[in-house]
Chain A
Amino acid sequence: MTCREFKDAADSRALFELATVQDGPIVKHARECSKCAEWLRGQHMLCGALRALTLRTANREAGPEVEQALLRSFRQSVSAREVEPLRFALTVPERIPWLQWSAYAAVAVALAFVLFVGYRSVNHRIRIAGRDHPVPVVIPRVRNSTTAKNDTAAKSVSAGVLAPLETASRAISQHPAKASDARPEPALSGPASASTEETLAKAGYVDLMLCDPLSCASDAQVVRMELPPQGADGQGNQPVIADVVVGDDGVVRAVRIVN
């Protein structure tokens, strides 16, 4: 064994293993080589010193105060962990996606409802305000009129020709209306009932009722009706044609005698 092989063999063993080697190539070489023998003695001395140090400090441990401090910390951490589940329970809705989305949907529905109610409220206020501030209304037009005279009448309506028809109203009261040839007309524009009344009056219509603002604000239709002939007062057997303004509630609001 060469000195290099001796060193390699010695290095491959732990210090305590090397100290316990009593024979073999390592010891044999150390007997032959004084330099390697000196090195081996140094290793033995170091091993003995380290072993002595290990034995001397083998019973050294941390003091009891360290253990007590650690146990205190342990208990604190455990008690802190017991609070954790409560915190988890409070935050659990955030962790379940469908709950979260349901909450969003509920908020969206509530928002939509509030907007709808708000719109309705604003719309109603506008209608009420419309009574004080007239808004132009579409003049009712008579569609599919039976005679050219009717067309002329319709034109006169649109032209706003005034014709006092107090007698017509009287006639209507004397002769119940017969809904022959009654054809529904396009709806009048709803808002601004006051303006509508005014326009109807200008067109020769006679109001038949004291109009409630709310009901009169609703849509109305013009129906052409044929009233029974008036024979009793000597006006002949010719039927009376009248345009009747009927509200959505079915109540007649105004009437105009056409012929």
Chain B
Amino acid sequence: MLTEETDEQLLARALAGDEGAFTVLYRRRQGPVYRFALHMSGSTQIAEEVTQDVFMFLLQRGNGFDPSRGVLAAYLFGVARNYVRRAMERNYSELLATAPAEDEVNSIMVQSDPAEGIAQEQMSAAVWRAVLSLPEHYREPVVLCDLQELSYAEAAEVLGCAIGTIRSRLHRAHEMLVKKLKHSAVRIRSVSGVTARCMS
């Protein structure tokens, strides 16, 4: 069964022309790649573009992947990281003009049930805004370790730096996020209090 094969085996078969193997690999790995790009950019448009670019890259230059240097998932995140950076540089003015990140963040609240845990949802929207406002070298470890739940070692592999660097960047990023969230929390508490009274 294709679904039981490892990423590396699927990649080898896909590169040999097995469409089924490529489909399985894509369906297995497109979600994390898409969410990484989405968390990094806050734009569904960029996330889709990056996902497509990453797997196109894999089709064209997948032979360059060396399993002895790491797992395929980390390799894909590394490729995605470069494409996100390029896409954001290219679309920076558009992002500022249309503020897609804001739309994405607000969509979370629209989709959710206001009766349950609205404060937490507002908090998640706030934390996303805070994450997006971080400098890139702080945002990357937060997205990889806190949102994608990679280990420090895996994140270090993706970013090509030492584990100690990941740890120190995360510490600093958490400090900045907490500071931003505390400002938001006061607002959220007051809003949620009003909402709760309305609901009752």
List which A60-101 residues lie within 8 A (CB) of chain B.
60-63, 66-67, 69-71, 73-75, 77-78, 81
Known contacts A50-B146, A60-B34; decide if A70 and B171 are in contact (CB<8 Å).
Answer: no
Does B19 belong to the interface (CB within 8 Å)?
yes
Q: Chain B interface mostly helix, strand, loop or mixed?
A: helix
Q: Which residues of B contact A77 (CB under 8 A)?
A: 59-60
Q: Chain A interface mostly helix, strand, loop or mixed?
A: helix
- Docked complex Cα distance between A67 and B83 (Å): 18
Q: Which residues of A contact B51 (CB under 8 A)?
A: 62, 66
* Most A C-beta atoms less than 10 A away, residue of B47, B124, B149, B152: B124
Closest to A78 in B: B17
Partner of A15 from B35, B48, B146 at Cβ < 8 Å: B146
Closest to A58 in B: B35
- Docked complex Cα distance between A197 and B181 (Å): 124
Shortest CB-to-CB span from B105 to chain A, Å, is: 9
Shortest CB-to-CB span from A80 to chain B, Å, is: 11
- Docked complex Cα distance between A50 and B148 (Å): 10
- Docked complex Cα distance between A66 and B29 (Å): 13
Does B95 belong to the interface (CB within 8 Å)?
no
Q: Across the interface, do B121 and A52 meet the contact criterion of CB distance under 8 Å? A: yes
Known contacts A14-B145, A54-B147; decide if A49 and B30 are in contact (CB<8 Å).
Answer: no
Q: Which residues of A contact B114 (CB under 8 A)?
A: none
Residue total for B at the interface (Cβ-Cβ under 8 A):
49
Q: Across the interface, do A66 and B52 meet the contact criterion of CB distance under 8 Å? A: yes
Q: Across the interface, do B120 and A52 meet the contact criterion of CB distance under 8 Å? A: yes
Does A249 belong to the interface (CB within 8 Å)?
no
- Docked complex Cα distance between A42 and B185 (Å): 11
Q: Which residues of B contact A78 (CB under 8 A)?
A: 17, 19
Closest to A54 in B: B147
Does A43 belong to the interface (CB within 8 Å)?
yes
Does A232 belong to the interface (CB within 8 Å)?
no
Q: Across the interface, do B127 and A56 meet the contact criterion of CB distance under 8 Å? A: no
Does A48 belong to the interface (CB within 8 Å)?
yes
Against B, the Cβ 8 Å flags (1 = close, 0 = not) of A174-194 are 000000000000000000000
Partner of B147 from A45, A53, A70, A74 at Cβ < 8 Å: A53
Known contacts A57-B35, A62-B34, A69-B52; decide if A45 and B59 are in contact (CB<8 Å).
Answer: no
Q: Across the interface, do B127 and A50 meet the contact criterion of CB distance under 8 Å? A: yes
Does B187 belong to the interface (CB within 8 Å)?
no
Shortest CB-to-CB span from B17 to chain A, Å, is: 5
Partner of B30 from A12, A61, A71, A73 at Cβ < 8 Å: A61
List which B126-158 residues lie within 8 A (CB) of chain A.
126-128, 131, 142, 145-147, 149, 152
- Docked complex Cα distance between A56 and B26 (Å): 22
Does B56 belong to the interface (CB within 8 Å)?
yes
Known contacts A45-B181, A46-B181; decide if A62 and B146 are in contact (CB<8 Å).
Answer: no
Which residues of B are interface residues toward A (Cβ below 8 A)? 14, 17, 19, 22-23, 26-27, 30-31, 33-35, 38-39, 44, 47-48, 51-52, 55-56, 59-60, 108, 112, 120-121, 123-128, 131, 142, 145-147, 149, 152, 167, 170-171, 174, 177-178, 181-182, 185
Excluding A56-B112, A62-B51, 20 further A-B contacts by CB distance (< 8 Å) are A15-B174, A16-B146, A43-B174, A46-B181, A48-B123, A50-B127, A50-B147, A53-B108, A56-B124, A57-B147, A60-B35, A61-B30, A61-B35, A62-B34, A66-B52, A67-B27, A70-B22, A70-B52, A71-B19, A74-B59
- For the complex of A and B, 9 pairs with smallest distance between CB atoms: A52-B124, A49-B127, A42-B178, A53-B124, A62-B51, A49-B123, A62-B34, A78-B17, A50-B146
20 A-B residue pairs with Cβ-Cβ distance under 8 Å, sorted by A, are: A15-B174, A16-B146, A43-B174, A45-B123, A45-B185, A46-B127, A48-B120, A53-B124, A57-B108, A60-B34, A61-B35, A62-B31, A63-B48, A66-B51, A67-B26, A67-B27, A70-B26, A70-B52, A70-B55, A73-B56
